[in-house]
Structure 1
Amino acid sequence: MKIRSAVAVSAAFLLAACGGGGQIGDSNSGGSAANKKLVLIPGITAEPFYISMQCGFEEAAKAAGYEFDTQAPAKFDAAQQTPIVTGILASKPAAVLIAPTDDKAMAGPMKQLKDAGIKVVEVDTKLQDTSIGVSSISSDNEQGGKLAAETLNKLTAGKSGSVLVLNTKAGTSTTDARAKGFEDAIKAYPNLKYIGQQYTDNEPATAASKVTATLAANPDLIGVFATNLNSGEGAATGLRNAGKTGAVNLVGFDASPKQVEDLQAGIVQALIAQDPATIGKQGVEQALAAIDGKENKRNIETELVAITKDDAAANSKYFYKKSC
């Protein structure tokens, strides 16, 4: 009940915040020349990955002379993201950059944006339906999973043992692709026994308990690949609680301040870092191209890099931000 009430209040606030500009609310079309408003809807609030994306988005929007706004759900959940999308319809911005929290459930709300004449750009995650967004910008997530498997193999240095994947939620396009890339690549290393993936519901506490339970069932556990920031932070906690820090190699995805701290402390052995600021920047570029009637690039993939403690300083540009 509390969540539903919070979403309702958030949606009501959004209507007021986004409808504040008279020329925007009165625009007859999302693509109107007088409409100089862009909105970013990340997957979740207060997460360094999306904050870094927001920084790139704001910088690019400001440089182009556009107003900008960011509205994010409290949880990575379609039920919480949908009211935000619905609320934004009332203000009719020129374009919306959105990280859909479910590759099927968000198709209906996002189609409402498109039908209202608002250009839709997918950032980080994307829908299965490719007819709604004019462009999708994200990391090559399957390649990222492959890179994680390669990195874990190097870290284990030929030792044998079981390896686990911690995924977030089924139906999240990015993390599902990372898990697939890892699963396909780990087959090349017969000393590493893949014992499957478990879902954490994007909750660090759940990730921690999953690691603890897996250690009890598989004492030969030698590696964990966490497919996103929250799962990685939770996995580190689980290993710490079990006294297995360093004995089990943890490869995380994303370079949040906490994960970088854990990397430098030897709690995490490697991070697969994305470039979220560039995703935000290129999202604006594709939105403006659509607004101006220019051709869009349908799929854009941004850079990924594997970072260990030894080369962390050289790759500090990939570390995520807490604020812009």
Structure 2
Amino acid sequence: MIHTSRRAVAATLAALAGAALLASCAPAGDGGDGGETADAITIAAVYPNLSDPFWQTISCGAAARADELGVDFQQFNSNNTDTNTVASNFQSASLIGADGMIVNSFNANQFLAQTQQLMADGVPVVSGSGTDPQTEYKVIFSDGETGGFADELASLVPEGAGSMVYLGGAPGIPPLEKRTLPFFEAMQAARPDLTVLPNDYSGFDINKTTQNVSSLIIANPDLKLIIAASGPDGVGAAAAIDQAGKSGEITLIAFDAIPPEVDALRSGTISALIAQDPYQIGASSIDALVDYLEAHPDGGAVEPDGVETIPSFVLTADNIDDPANEKYLYKTEC
């Protein structure tokens, strides 16, 4: 069945935007080939910055799940963080008249008004960032409860007094800080003998991180623990530790599991990775929309239904090659 709301929204948006805009926007996404029919559910997704393996892996997980379910899945993605590009892709995605949408932007409220309208017209929207107040049907993102990993990982840090530092990427990014700061604070409690140095921010620049950490190592010869909040911070810190010949002397615990981080974990420069599960985030986003649409075949306005969190996982040299943990390794392609 094709939902009445889907046809209405498509007509409204098409009248507003016009055919010329559709032709000039980002290329049409990849539809799944899992048995699409005239009455199949259609889902449109807008993902930013697929040059980042995290977002690429989310995209892969969503596409695979859509294919399993026979969903017509069309993606409108960008390879950068430019909000104008994301806006153009969102407009293109809106025009196909999808039954449900997955919408992500680095500015959480960028599409607040549009999301409200889609939901009112019976189109459920899932996001990984979430508007404030919540207007989406469901917000699906990584669980921020990482403090519990401190008990497991504190033993990786050499004994005795010293110092520690948090590499935060960039300040003021709620999804990142909610996930990484609880672990940083728990490590401070677990190792009160370590002096906390001022937070360091590189803007997610690997080269700048390498330079900054190299300077920190020289200025703080007692440095024993580095906590890197992102993949670029982890890769840059690993390079600085390696250049200083400090592998094994400085414990580096990094978030995420992009390929260079995984290589550094295997080589011993990174002691542990706290990996998100982006593949499951993508799959769960499809599940949430399909479940809703199947439960509401007659359409009607959609109400927000809270959040769903996906647990993170600790990867170490001992478990990195376990086939069961492969899903935590971020992909550069599907």
The TM-score normalised by the length of structure 1 is 0.79
Q: Tell me, what secondary structure is at the counterpart of 2:236?
A: helix
Deviates more, 1:256-265 or 1:170-179: 170-179
Superposition pairs of residues 1-324 of structure 1, within 5 angstroms: 12-14=24-26, 17=28, 34=39, 36-105=41-110, 107=112, 110-111=115-116, 113-114=118-119, 117-123=122-128, 125-130=129-134, 132-141=135-144, 143-144=145-146, 146-147=147-148, 149-188=150-189, 189-294=191-296, 298-314=306-322, 315-324=325-334
How far apart, in 1, do the equivalents of 2:23 and 2:273 lie? 35
Contact 1:270/1:306 (<8 A) preserved: yes
Q: Tell me, what secondary structure is at the counterpart of 1:17?
A: coil
How far apart, in 2, do the equivalents of 1:36 and 1:101 lie? 27
How far residue 219 of structure 1 moved from its aligned partner, in angstroms, is 2.9
Contact 2:46/2:77 (<8 A) preserved: yes
How far apart, in 1, do the equivalents of 2:215 and 2:109 lie? 31
Q: What amino acid maps onto 2:138 in structure 1?
A: S
Q: What amino acid maps onto 1:126 in structure 2?
A: G
How far apart, in 2, do the equivalents of 1:209 and 1:56 lie? 35
Q: Tell me, what secondary structure is at the counterpart of 1:250?
A: strand
How far apart, in 2, do the equivalents of 1:70 and 1:257 lie? 24
Q: Deviations over 1:84-130 (max 9, x none)?
A: 2233222232222233313345545655654665421013x333331
State the Cα RMSD in Å: 3.1
How far residue 242 of structure 1 moved from its aligned partner, in angstroms, is 3.5
Cα 1:18–1:65 change in 2 (3 A) is same
Q: What amino acid maps onto 1:40 in structure 2?
A: A
How far apart, in 2, do the equivalents of 1:11 and 1:218 lie? 56
Q: Deviations over 1:32-60 (max 9, x none)?
A: x9573222333421322222222221122
Q: Tell me, what secondary structure is at the counterpart of 1:175?
A: helix
How far apart, in 1, do the equivalents of 2:237 and 2:118 lie? 37
Structure 1 stretches of 5 or more lacking a match?
Answer: 1-8, 21-32
Of all paired residues, the percent bearing the same amino acid is 25
How far residue 167 of structure 1 moved from its aligned partner, in angstroms, is 2.0
Q: What amino acid maps onto 1:306 in structure 2?
A: V
How far residue 152 of structure 1 moved from its aligned partner, in angstroms, is 4.5
Q: Which has the larger radius of gyration?
A: 2
Contact 2:30/2:75 (<8 A) preserved: no
Cα 1:58–1:89 change in 2 (3 A) is same
Cα 1:92–1:218 change in 2 (3 A) is farther
Give the aligned length: 299
How far residue 155 of structure 1 moved from its aligned partner, in angstroms, is 0.8
